[in-house]
Amino acid sequence: MKLILLGAPGAGKGTQAKLISDYYAIPHISTGDIFRSNIKSGTELGKKAKAFIDAGALVPDELTVDLVLDALSAPECMGGCILDGFPRTIAQAEALDAAMKAASDAIDCCIDIEVPDEVIIERMSGRRVCPSCGASYHTVNVPPKTEGICDSCSAALVIRKDDEPGTVKARLDTYHEQTQPLIGYYTAQGKNIVIDGMHSPEEVFSEIKEKLG
């Protein structure tokens, strides 16, 4: 089973990707993790990706397509996988479909997690991350034991550039313009399922399992 997770930044795709990966025993391929790793390592790809991410824009197709296709060819993905953060544009989706068709393969389903913009802005503005160990928190939903301090390594928590309200709004605008058309793309293929992302992570995952069958 090869799945795509679709939804605006902050819709809860990362949480659901882990739950789906664990439940169905399929790898979780997150382009976000790949980019963050490259940014932290200071690679050329990371430097280019960081410039776009900091501006609230999508990383261009040419920086992502080959990387994801290479990941899909790994032996652990032969039995299925879940793509989180890719494709983000119609061009990426078409490149993915063409490559998979050449390998006599195809995406089985697109899971579209829907959350209103105003809720997403509230969610993301409360995020805090540890610059030392990478742990994530939320001022309301997952607060640290001591305000502003990481539970794991006691480092001071920070607000990521892409979680600042202005950047969040820019990312949402980019999502609606470039990524949201994928809903129509996969609906036309009969592969899109809509999930209400306003509920708890457990309830959202329960709806995903029900609709996947």
Q: What pLDDT was estimated at residue 135?
A: 93
Q: What percent of the chain has pLDDT over 90?
A: 54
pLDDT (tens digit per residue) in 105-138: 899 999 999 999 999 988 888 889 999 999 999 9
Q: What is the DSSP string of the chain?
A: -EEEEE--TTSSHHHHHHHHHHHHT--EEEHHHHHHHHHHHT-HHHHHHHHHHHTT-PPPGGGTHHHHHHHHTSGGGTT-EEEES---SHHHHHHHHHHHHHTT----EEEEEE--HHHHHHHHHTEEE-TTT--EEETTTB--SBTTB-TTT-PBPB--GGGSHHHHHHHHHHIIIIITHHHHHHHHTT-EEEEETTS-HHHHHHHHHHHH-
Give catalytic status of residue 127 as yes or no.
yes
**From 2, 123, 127, 128, active-site residue:** 127
Highest mean pLDDT range out of 106-115, 155-164, 170-179? 106-115
Average pLDDT, the chain: 90
| Residue 131 structure tokens | 């610059």
Band the pLDDT of 181: cuts 50, 70, 90.
very high
The pLDDT value given to residue 83: 93
Is residue 40 flagged as an active site residue? no
* Interval 74-96: pLDDT, tens: 788 888 999 988 898 899 999 89
Does domain 2-116+165-212 fall under CATH 1.10.3720.10? My reply is no
Query: pLDDT value at position 211?
Result: 95
Q: Which residues pair with 29 in a beta bridge?
A: 83
Kindly name the residue from 13, 50, 123, 128 that is annotated as catalytic: 13
Of 18, 160, 169, 191, which residue is the catalytic one? Answer: 160
Active-site residue, 123 included: no
Give residue 147's pLDDT band: very low, low, confident or very high (50, 70, 90). very high
- Examine the residue annotation and report whether 128 is marked as an active-site residue of this protein: no
Domain residue limits, the chain = 2-116+165-212
Please give the pLDDT value at position 212: 93
| pLDDT tens-digit series, residues 39-58 | 888 888 788 888 988 888 87
Q: Is the pLDDT of residue 200 over 80?
A: yes
